[in-house]
Structure 1
Amino acid sequence: MMRIDSHQHFWQLARGDYGWLTSDLKPIYRDFLPDDLAPLLQRGGIGGTVVVQAAPTVAETEFMLSLAAQESFIRGVVGWVDFETRSAPQQIAAMAQDPKLVSLRPMIQDIADVDWMLGDALAPAFRALIDCDLTFDALVKPPHLKNLHTLLTRHGDMRVVIDHGAKPQLHDGTLDGWANDMAALARDTDAYCKLSGLVTEAGTGWTVDDLRPIVDHLLDTFGPERLIWGSDWPVCTLAASYGDWLDATDRLLSALSQSDLDAIMGGNAVHIYKLEE
C-alpha cells in the first residue's frame, strides 16, 4: 500500500490571500512549493499527498489544482468555496469537474460564530458537496464539536474528515470535553479523523508521551479503520520537522498490526477521498 500524506499545504506569498500568514510566523513566512516537499516525501517513503487549502478563496483552490496537474505525487486537493453565497452549488459542481478535487474545507476555526455551520443558508452547499461525491474536511476546534455532531446527524450521507483531531488543547491539558465529544462523534457518525497537526498544538518542546493520550484516545474511539495520517507540513515545522513527526508516528503506532498501519498511513485516505489507485 502506498503511504500517503493526507494533509499538506503549498503557498506563494505574492498571491496575497493568506490572511493568517504574517511575518510573525517567521519560519513559515516564505513560499512553500512542490520542490520543497519532494525530497522530504522521498526520505519518508511517502508516495502521494493531499494538498489542503490555506486561504479562503476560489483562486487559491485553482492554484492548487494547477499544481496538481503538474505534480504526479499530488493525489488530491481539498479546496474552498464560500458556502454562504447563493452560487455555491453551481461553483461546487463546476470545480468538481476536476478529478483532483476531492474535498472542500470552510475555515470554520476562524469563524467567530460557533453556530455558523448550522445555518440554514449553508444547506444547499452541503447538498451540492454530497451530490458531487466530494468529502467535507471539518477544520474545527473543541468548542465546535457538539455542533459538528448535529451537522453530521443532519447530513448522514456526507463523507467527513475531522482535521487535526479537532485541535485538542494539549498546551493546558484541558481534554475531558474534547475526549467526550470526539467519542460521541466516533460512536454516532461515520466521520474519519486526521492524525495530524498535534505537534503544533503541543508546541515546541513536545514529547511523544505528550501526544500519546490523544493518539490512544483516537485509536480507541475511531479505530485504525477511521484514522488517516497527515503531516500538516509546512505548518508542522513550527514545532517539528517532517521526519520528526514521522518518527513520532512510528512510535505512537508501534503496537498496531501491519494492516492497521497500512490503513492509517494510506489506505484510509484512498477510501475517504476516493483517490485513484
Structure 2
Amino acid sequence: MRILDTHLHLIYPDRFNYPWLGGNAALNRPWSHGDYFAEALALGIESALHMEVDVAEADMMGETEFVLGLPRIAGAIAACRPEHMNFVDQIEQLSEHAHVKGVRRILHESPDELSQSDLFIENIRHLPDYDLSFDLCLRADQLHLGVALAQRAPDVTFILDHCGNPDINGLGLDPWRTALAEIAHIPNVVGKVSGLVNHCNPGWTAQTLRPYVEHMIESFSWDRVVWGSDHPVATVTGGTLTDWVAATREIIKGATPDEQAKLLHRNAERIYKV
C-alpha cells in the first residue's frame, strides 16, 4: 500500500544555515532528496511533505521555495515565528505558494511560555484564513501546552508530531499515555505517528514501538492519524527508513485495508489538502 510521508527533512548545508546541526554530528551532513527517494520508492513511499528543518530565520523562505521545486515533494510545512509582530505578513507571503500546506514553530526546545502568549495565540488564529495547519512539536511533559493552545485556537487544525515524544528509554508509557489521551480529546488536533525511534535504544523492534503506536491510534482513532518518517532524524539510533516502514507495517498488519490506507496516505491527503 502506498505511503505519503508527512514528515521528511532534507538537509542542504551548502545552501542553508542550520545552527542546531553544529552540535549534532550524526546529522551534520547533506541529506538529499535523491538519496531519500532512492530508498523510499522501494518501500511504497510515492511522495512526501517536507518538514522545515529549523534553518536560520534568514533562510526560512528560501528553504520552502527550494524544496517545493523538487520532484515528488507534494507540499511543505514551512518554518514560522508566531511570536513576531509581522507573522501575518509572513504567512501571506507563504500563501502565495500553493503547495505550502502548513507551518511549524519548534516548541520542544523553546520556553514553555512562548506558545502561551496572547500574541502567539492571536497570530495562530489567522492560519485558517490562509488554509494552513500548524504542526505541534512538544515534549511529553509539555503536552498540556498543546491542549491549552488548541483550545484557545479552536478553528486551527493542529498536527501533533512524533506521538508527543514519549520518553521510551526512560519513563516509558506513563505519564505520557494519560497526557496523550488528553490532547487527543481536543477535536482540532490530529496525531502524527512518527519520531518514536529517536527515543529508543539501538536494536529497537516493532514490539518496542507497538504499545505507543497502538495507543496513538486508540486515542485519536483511525480517522485522525497520519504517518511520517522523520527522516533522517530517525536514523540517529541506528535504524533506517526501511526499518521504520517495516515496523509500521508489522504493527498495523492486523488492521483492515481501509484503516491502513487512512494512516498511510488518505488522512494526510485530506488534512494537509494534498
Query: Shorter-chain TM-score category?
Result: over 0.9
Q: Following the alignment from structure 1 to structure 2, what is the Cα–Cα distance between the partners of residues 45 and 188? A: 32
Task: Name segments (4+ residues, structure 1) moved above 6 Å.
Answer: none
Match of 2:168 in 1: 170
Mapped contact 1:186–1:222 kept (Cα < 8 A) = yes
Structure 1 spans left out of the alignment, 5+ residues: none
The CA distance in 2 between the partners of 1:174 and 1:231, in whole Å, is 21
Match of 1:11 in 2: 11
1:67-88 residue CA offsets vs partner (Å, 9 max, x unmatched): 322x231001011122122111
Name 1:262's counterpart in structure 2: 261
Separation in 2, partners of 1:123, 1:185:
17
Aligned pairs for 1:193-208 within 5 A: 193-208=191-206
8 Å CA contact 1:53–1:61 kept in 2: the answer is: no
Equivalent residue of 1:115, what SS? helix
Offset, 1:44: 0.8
Q: Give the RMSD, CA atoms, in angstroms.
A: 1.6
Does the residue aligned with 1:47 lie in a helix, a strand or coil? strand
Give % identity.
25
Q: Work out the CA distance in 1 between the residues paired with 2:216 and 2:135.
A: 17
Q: Which runs of 5+ in 2 are unaligned?
A: none
Which piece of structure 1 moves more, 200-209 or 41-50? 200-209
SS of 2:14's equivalent in the other structure is helix
What CA distance in whole angstroms lies between the structure 2 residues aligned with 1:87 and 1:132? 15
Which residue is equivalent to 2:235? 237
**Secondary structure of residue in 2 paired with 1:13:** coil
Conserved 8 A contact 1:11-1:33: yes
1:15 shift after superposition: 4.0
Quote the Cα distance in structure 2 between the aligned partners of 1:63 and 1:75: 15
Equivalent pairs counted in the alignment come to: 272
Map Cα deviations across residues 6-30 of structure 1 (whole Å, 9 max, x no partner): 101011123453122136423x221
In structure 1, how many angstroms separate the alpha carbons of the residues matched to 2:84 and 2:65? Answer: 22
* Residue number in structure 2 paired with 1:139: 137
Instruction: Assess if the C-alpha contact under 8 Å between 2:125 and 2:155 holds in 1.
Output: no
How far apart, in 2, do the equivalents of 1:237 and 1:8 lie? 12
* CA distance in structure 1 between the partners assigned to 2:127 and 2:86 by the alignment: 13
Amino acid at match of 1:144: Q
1:74 corresponds to: 73
Task: Decide whether the 8 Å contact of 2:121 with 2:153 is kept in 1.
Answer: no
- What residue identity is the alignment partner of 2:29? R
Q: TM-score, normalised by structure 1?
A: 0.93
Kindly report which structure 2 residues correspond to 1:57-206, keeping only aligned pairs within 5 A, or say none.
57=57, 59-69=59-69, 71-111=70-110, 113-206=111-204
The one-letter code sitting in structure 1 at the alignment partner of 2:148 is T
* Distance of 1:232 and 1:9 partners within structure 2: 7
- How much has 1:58 moved relative to structure 2? 5.4
Q: Distance in 1 between matches of 2:145 and 2:131?
A: 23
Alignment match, 2:207:
209
Q: Distance in 1 between matches of 2:201 and 2:189?
A: 27
Q: Which stretch shifts more, 1-10 or 218-227?
A: 1-10
Q: TM-score, normalised by structure 2?
A: 0.94
CA distance in 2, matches of 1:58, 1:181: 35
What is the SS of the residue equivalent to 1:203?
A: coil
Alpha-carbon spacing, 1:271–1:244, altered in 2? closer, same or farther (3 Å): same
C-alpha change, 1:62 and 1:204, in structure 2 (3 Å) is same
Are the equivalent residues in 2 in contact too, given 1:162–1:191 (CA < 8 A)? yes
Instruction: Tell me how far 1:53 sits from its aligned partner.
Output: 0.6
Q: Deviations over 1:20-67 (max 9, x none)?
A: 2136423x2211121111211211111110010111525234223223
1:129–1:50 Cα change, 3 Å: same
- For 1:65, give the aligned amino acid: E
SS at match of 2:155: coil
Q: Which deviates more from structure 2 when the two are superposed, residues 145-154 or residues 9-18?
A: 9-18
